[in-house]
């Protein structure tokens, strides 16, 4: 049986192009597992569910081999486990089919390439950030304007400490999107 797996790295990304490729390869929509999670984390809900579902003779169909993960060591362990269980992998956009010796070799090779690409991206990002810092440009999320004001931050601290107001009420009063920002700024204020 063909079992599809699609993954994108973040919630705002779209995997419809992957789903189309999986459908074109013969995967049924109800036999396609989908995650919106980074590939560097091998534990992903739908991926884990797919692994428990698979049986000997099944074929996992992915758009690219790196959809299985970008950490080469863990990806190799996953590939080895699947191969040991008699499960093959097809990567539609790369022409990989691990039912052949050359296909297996290509899957491992493309795993190395995917990790190398990730390392290059990290290196370029780190270099770019270093250059920006040298020019005095700092990154990161800007502080909420209300929380940047020490007087208003003192009022928020007093409201929070008094326990007369809920976190939700404080956030609504000061226009904060979520409690995570409130807690972060309260920690910074006490540090």
Residue 186 has pLDDT above 70, yes or no: yes
State the pairing for strand pair 59-62/32-36.
Answer: unpaired
Sheet holding 88-91, edge to edge: 32-36, 2-8, 59-62, 88-91, 96-97
Residue 185: C-alpha distances to residues 78, 99, 150, 162 (Å): 41, 54, 11, 17
Which span out of 3-7, 67-71, 148-152, 157-161 was modeled with the highest average pLDDT? 3-7
Catalytic option among 9, 93, 128, 148: 9
Residue 157's pLDDT is what?
86
The residue behind tokens 């400490």 is 161
Residue pLDDT, tens place only, 5-21? 999 887 788 889 999 99
pTM over 0.75: no
Determine the length of the chain.
Answer: 191
The token pair at 137 is 């440009």
Phi then psi dihedrals of residue 8, to 5 deg:
-125, 160
Whether 181 sits among the annotated catalytic residues: the reply is no
pLDDT score at 39: 58
Taking the CA atoms of residue 120, residue 125, residue 127 and residue 128 in that order, the dihedral angle to the nearest 10 degrees is: 140
């Amino acid at each position: 049986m063909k079992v599809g797996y699609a993954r994108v790295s973040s919630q705002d990304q779209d995997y419809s192009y992957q789903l189309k490729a999986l459908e074109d390869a013969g995967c049924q929509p109800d036999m396609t597992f989908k995650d919106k999670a980074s590939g560097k984390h091998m534990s992903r809900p739908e991926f884990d569910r797919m692994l428990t579902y698979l049986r000997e003779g099944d074929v996992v169909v992915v758009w690219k081999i790196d959809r299985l993960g970008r950490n080469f060591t863990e990806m190799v362990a996953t590939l080895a486990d699947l191969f040991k269980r008699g499960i093959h992998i097809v990567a539609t956009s790369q022409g990989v089919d691990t039912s052949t010796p050359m296909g297996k070799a290509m899957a491992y090779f493309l795993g190395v390439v995917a990790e190398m690409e990730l390392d290059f991206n990290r290196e370029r990002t780190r270099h770019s950030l270093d250059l920006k810092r040298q020019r005095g440009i700092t990154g990161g999320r800007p502080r909420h304007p209300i929380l940047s004001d020490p007087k208003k931050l003192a009022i928020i601290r007093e409201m929070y400490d008094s326990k007369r107001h809920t976190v939700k009420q404080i956030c609504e009063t000061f226009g904060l999107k979520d409690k995570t920002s409130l807690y972060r700024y309260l920690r910074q204020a006490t540090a």
